[in-house]
Structure 1
Amino acid sequence: MPNRFFVSLMLAATAVAGTAVAQNEGVATPADAGVAKPAIDGTIFHAQVLLDRAGFAPGVIDGIKGMSFEEAVKGFQTARGLAVTGALDGPTRAALLRDRAPSTLHLRIDASDAQGPFVGAIPADPAAQARMDCLCYRNLLEKIAEKFHTTPATIVALNGPETILQAGTVLRLPNVLPASRDYGAVEPQAAQMLSDLNIDGNLPKADRIVVDKSDGVLRLFDKGGALIAQFPATMGSEHDPLPLGTWKVTSVAYNPPFHYQPDLFWDVADTKDEHRLPPGPNGPVGTIWVDINKPHYGIHGTAEPETIQRAESHGCVRLTNWDAARVARMASDGMTVIFRA
């Protein structure tokens, strides 16, 4: 493996934070290394892991209590028939702990993860991005962080800034390993992407999706109306509001390229050139596009998972790449999608 990947976690975290993809589908906020964030709260961290494993995603797993965590707790409480308080109370903790999984595992970096490809700094100019082969991960730390539904800063906090990141390194990581990696009849590239995001192959099929602007979450329900999964989302803005109404899923695309059309962006001059941007986790729609029968709108991933519920979008529903992948696996063509205020 090239020597440039034999770097400390601190250097890798700084490299990830120093370059953000411009012209994201969403109106992104500046990237932040986050190295000086508050210390990890072990109780919150374990609850985040268990919520993520249960399908009630807390956003990035970082041991910090926030809005996404409270909404995830509420969703879990609703699904389990508990009092909906948003607090990590005794009954909620007991229900979560029925999954006896520890909060972290010590895992060795596999050579297949370490080989990349990694692209380093990503230019802000869409024309320059269009000339790239892939909007891939910038470095190994960014890839490992997404694979384990966390942030580079959290991996630094769990392992120490001087840890050398390379194939064979043993890291302490959030315990989000799936029970199955059998993804059925999908293309090998899509199956690899799902595996790289630690997506479970046994996710249930949903009957409908409800996106609720009032609390910033996407919910999936089964045929009986039971809530079976919930994910924090960024949806719309003052300039491009969420298109309220009832829609249908028309298709799901894994690792999609992106047709960059300036006339669809209120914050980009219409005189700018159109471009076809290559696929990749750092692309404007991340690694998933769930299309609906509203032109130019869909449910998709993001290059900046820490901005979910903390930024705005150009009308679409934006999730972390790993949550978008779970929605894609639970969705089906023709499924009802409700966008409501």
Structure 2
Amino acid sequence: MTAYAAESPLAVAANELDTTVGAAGQLRAQVLLDRAHFSPGEIDGFAGSNQRRAVRGYQQAKALPVTGDLDAGTWAALNADMAPVLVAYALTVEDVGQNYASLPQDMMEQGKLKSLGFESIEEALGERFHASPALLRKLNPTADFSKAGTQLQVPNVVGVAAPAKATKVVVDKSDSTLTLVDAAGNPFAQYPVSSGSQHDPLPLGEWKIVATAVNPTFHYNPALFWDADPTHARATLAAGPNNPVGTRWIDLSKPHYGLHGTAEPASIGKTQSHGCVRLTNWDVERVAAAIGPDVVVVMQE
């Protein structure tokens, strides 16, 4: 059953079928874009660069005027998805019983840990529901996040069907996006990325997917990082959602390069990387579901 928290105007208004571009409208747009596989990245209810990229990609795929704006035609197409934007979720014993702990920033200290798990329940729930921890708090201002059975309002993004199989992946550095393309050359899904930097440029050209790894460890080699601490040595960092490559590594034919997740979903599309292509953990899982070995990955400026 869907329920809306009476104390949260965002939760109430986000289910209305209108073209408002206030906080509730932005939240609605982001959830619908996520469900349509045109990801706005971390859902936060604020209009930003990732949302605008998602809107542009969605408009192009739907043969709408490509403006990046939430105009009437775009709202009409998005609102064909009539599923509730927010749904009720009850915290479980497992949710509140995890061993949440702050993680050290230093790579060598992280290498001493047996797992790189979530630091808070809000972070864990944000990952599951593709939302910023701040948004979850805003939607549930009086909720006790430490108590099993607490009812929350969360973005309705779980259980969405996986995207179709892609025949090509296009990473566009200038637009900070990764696009899935079908056999006819049509884009049908898009995700924000961080890709390359001045020190570690994106390797332009065509590569192929070699393999994928779920919950990978991270083999830290300071010699490969221009900004590494000179006192650091090689280390293997344990798996976990806060591992530097997140929950999935998609290996490319270019040595040392891949598509992967991140420990910092809010940074995607807004910061640079060390050459690889970073996505939120939930987006890289959707990409992984849509590709296979030998799929071509085009990297372009």
1:132–1:317: structure 2 CA closer, same or farther, 3 Å change rule? Answer: same
Tell me the residue number matched to 2:11: none
Q: TM-score, length-normalised on structure 2?
A: 0.90
Name the residue aligned to 1:143: 124
Q: Counterpart of 2:114?
A: 133
Shift in Å, 1:335? 0.4
Provide, for residues 2-44 of structure 1, a one-character-per-residue CA deviation record: whole Å limited to 9, x for no partner: xxxxxxxxxxxxxxxxxxxxxxxxxxxxxxxxxxxxxx70011
**Does residue 48 of structure 1 match 2:48?**
no
The reply to whether residue 330 of structure 1 matches residue 294 of structure 2 is no
For residue 330 of structure 1, what is the amino acid of its counterpart?
A
Residue number among 161, 170, 178 corresponding to 2:159 in the alignment? 178
In the alignment, what sits opposite 1:305? 265
Please give the secondary structure, in 1, of the residue aligned with 2:87.
Answer: strand
Counterpart pick for 2:224 among 261, 264, 268: 264
- What displacement does 1:270 show? 5.2
Q: Aligned pair 1:90/2:50, yes or no?
A: no
Matched to 2:50, the amino acid is: S
Structure 1 distance, partners of 2:222, 2:43, is 34
Please give the secondary structure, in 2, of the residue aligned with 1:313. coil
RMSD: 1.4
1:245 to 202, 205, 218: 205
* Secondary structure in structure 2 of the residue aligned to 1:312: coil
| One-letter amino acid of the counterpart of residue 102, structure 1 | P
1:178-217 CA distance string (max 9 Å, x none) = 14xxxxxxxxxxxxxxxxxxxx4x4311111000011110
- The equivalent of 1:284 in structure 2 is 244
* Pair 1:60-2:20 in alignment: no
Amino acid at match of 2:253: N
SS in 1 for 2:64: coil
**In the alignment, is the contact (CA less than 8 A) between 1:119 and 1:135 conserved in 2?**
no
Q: Where do residues 222-241 of structure 1 align in structure 2 (5 Å cutoff)?
A: 222-241=182-201
Report if aligned partners of 2:143, 2:152 keep a CA contact under 8 Å in 1: no
CA distance in 2, matches of 1:252, 1:115: 30
> Closer, same or farther in 2 for the Cα pair 1:127/1:333, shift >3 Å?
same
Q: C-alpha deviations, 1:270-328, integer Å up to 9, x for none?
A: 55210000000001001011110111110111111001111111000001110011111
Judged with a 3 Å threshold, the aligned counterparts in structure 2 of structure 1 residues 318 and 99 are, in CA distance, closer, same or farther, namely same
Decide whether the 8 Å contact of 1:263 with 1:270 is kept in 2: no
Figure out how many residues of one structure are paired with residues of the other and give that number: 280
Which one of 45, 59, 62 corresponds to residue 77 of structure 1? 59
Give the conservation status (yes or no) of the 8 Å contact 1:253–1:288.
yes
CA distance in 1 between partners of 2:172 and 2:93 (Å): 41
Q: Is the deviation greater in 101-110 or in 237-246?
A: 101-110
- Secondary structure class of the residue paired with 2:66: coil
CA contact (8 A) 1:209 1:337 kept: yes
Q: Which moved more, 1:301-310 or 1:159-168?
A: 159-168
TM-superposition CA deviations, 1:108-157 (whole Å, max 9, x none): 123333332x3401012222212211101112111001100011111111
What is the TM-score with the length of structure 1 in the denominator?
0.79
Counterpart CA distance in 1 for 2:139 and 2:49 is 23
Task: Please tell me the residue identity of whatever aligns with 1:176.
Answer: V
- Please state how far the C-alpha of 1:226 moved relative to its aligned partner: 1.3
Moved more, 67-76 or 118-127: 118-127
CA contact (8 A) 2:121 2:145 kept: no
From 124, 145, 168, the counterpart of 2:105: 124
Task: Tell me the equivalent position of 2:82.
Answer: 100
Name the residue aligned to 1:206.
166
Structure 2: stretches of 5+ with no match in the other structure:
1-21
CA distance in 2, matches of 1:81, 1:303: 35
* Letter of the structure 2 residue corresponding to residue 234 of structure 1: S
Amino acid at match of 2:52: E
Question: Match for 2:176 among 191, 216, 223?
Answer: 216
